[in-house]
Amino acid sequence: MSQGTRGRDFSSAAWPPVFPAIYLAKKNIRKQGALIGHEKEHYGQLHRKINHAWDLVVMQAREQLRAAKQRRKGDRLVMACQEQTYWLVNRPPPGVPSVLEQGPERSSCTAGQARMSPQGLPSNCSPPGPFQTKNIDFYKREMELCRKALGRARVKSSVCLEAYLKFSSQREPHDPIMSGCLPGNPWVTDDDTYWTVNAPSVAVPTKLRVERWGFSFQELLEDPVGRAHFMAFLGTEFSAENLSFWEACEELRHGGQAQVRAMVDAVYQQFLAPGAARWVNIDSQTMERTLEGLHQPHRYVLDDAQLHIYMLMKKDSYPRFLKSAAYKDLLAEAVIPPEAKKRVFPFMRKLPHSSPSPALLPAATSGEPAAAAGGPECGEGGA
């Protein structure tokens, strides 16, 4: 079926009326004239409009019906449904909104919450197109919607751009692609010092690594070295149990399923039970929800309590840590890796080589690489 035959009205002069006429003629022949109301009206309009070519329309309709009878029943039903759906979508009956021309008012028509009006339309939705009645209630609703839209909070573009600029300038020195790696790039050279100085556990972290702890609280917790220094700081404030509780909840969330019940009981007895050795301060509502979940323990049962402690550390302990003398001393004592010495002539650069095969390591350590790798060849050469 040609896509150029789509239109809104059966009697519209903007679209060729032959194709809808053939469809209605086939339907009239199949149902022996039992068309519904609007189809009879459109059928008569098309008959009067293209009366000079009506014999061609009827002949084409009969030929299509004859060809359809030669197909299998399943294929015949599928094609009939497709054709009916096409015309329902592209040329809907009068009073039915077209899905191709539906405007923004469709989003306000919620099927589950809408109340139907006597005309069959939702009472909170205005009838679309030419059937819309713009009375005083309609304009009151429009004014109320515009008033709510004006009062909605929005972020200015200047504020957004300023935030993006601040984020980019803050992260640029820490981006290996934008600023490079110190002392060298381990992906293109044989120097693996970068991995050594940025290992998960080092005695003295690099300055860039310590600076990242000040970007966000999440950056501090994700770094094992930063979390250890933060734990030491909380110990000076007698609140190290907060971070210990957070770590226990993380271990519960990512631990094995078989140990969930035992781990939940251990965390509760250590941090939440009355008179616990390392009791943490949680509000009453959070404690009630946690106690209700303990009846059927699972790995996420302590999420509310963990979030409460997380926000407490983020808003209270973390800012004090960044202002403390311990963090300033870490920045002052942090290591700045020296840049690797560059060669004067690039063509003399030593090409990166691959690591030796693990299969050859035992032979190399035993001192018999030549005998293991080239014994037969040496024997032939000696002969």
Count structural domains, the chain: 2
* Domain-embedded: residue 270: yes
**The tokens of 200 are what?**
């998960």
* Domain-embedded: residue 95: no
The sign of the dihedral angle between the CA atoms of 47, 52, 57, 58 is positive
Q: Which residue has the higher pLDDT, 349 or 59?
A: 59
Torsion of CA 141, 147, 148, 152, to 10 degrees: 160
| pLDDT(126) > 60 | no
| pLDDT(381) > 70 | no
pLDDT, one tens digit per residue, over 64-79 is 888 888 888 888 888 8
**Of 7, 41, 9, 43, the residue nearest 24 (C-alpha):** 43
| pLDDT(367) > 50 | no
What is the model's pLDDT at position 371? 43
The domain that holds 274 is classified in CATH as: 1.10.167.10
What is the model's pLDDT at position 359? 46
Last residue of one domain, picked from the residues 36, 67, 90: 90
Q: Peptide bond before 183: cis, by omega within 30 degrees of 0?
A: yes
pLDDT, one tens digit per residue, over 135-146 is 888 888 889 888
Rounded CA-CA distance 282/284 in Å is 7
**Are 85 and 202 found together in one domain?**
no
**Are 202 and 328 found together in one domain?**
yes
What is the model's pLDDT at position 20? 82
Q: Which residue has the higher pLDDT, 326 or 112?
A: 326
* Domain-embedded: residue 163: no
Q: Kindly report the backbone phi and psi dihedral angles of residue 363, in degrees, each rounded to the nearest multiple of 5, phi listed first.
A: -65, -40
- Structural domain harbouring 39: 3-90
**pLDDT mean over 83-88:** 82
Residue 266 makes CB contacts below 8 A (sequence gap 6+) with 248
Q: Which helix (H) or strand (E) holds 378?
A: helix 369-382
Task: Look up the pTM and report it.
Answer: 0.50
**pLDDT mean over 88-114:** 58
**pLDDT mean over 311-330:** 93
**pLDDT mean over 305-326:** 93
Confidence of residue 339 (pLDDT cuts 50, 70, 90): low
* Domain-embedded: residue 123: no
DSSP 104: G
* Domain-embedded: residue 83: yes
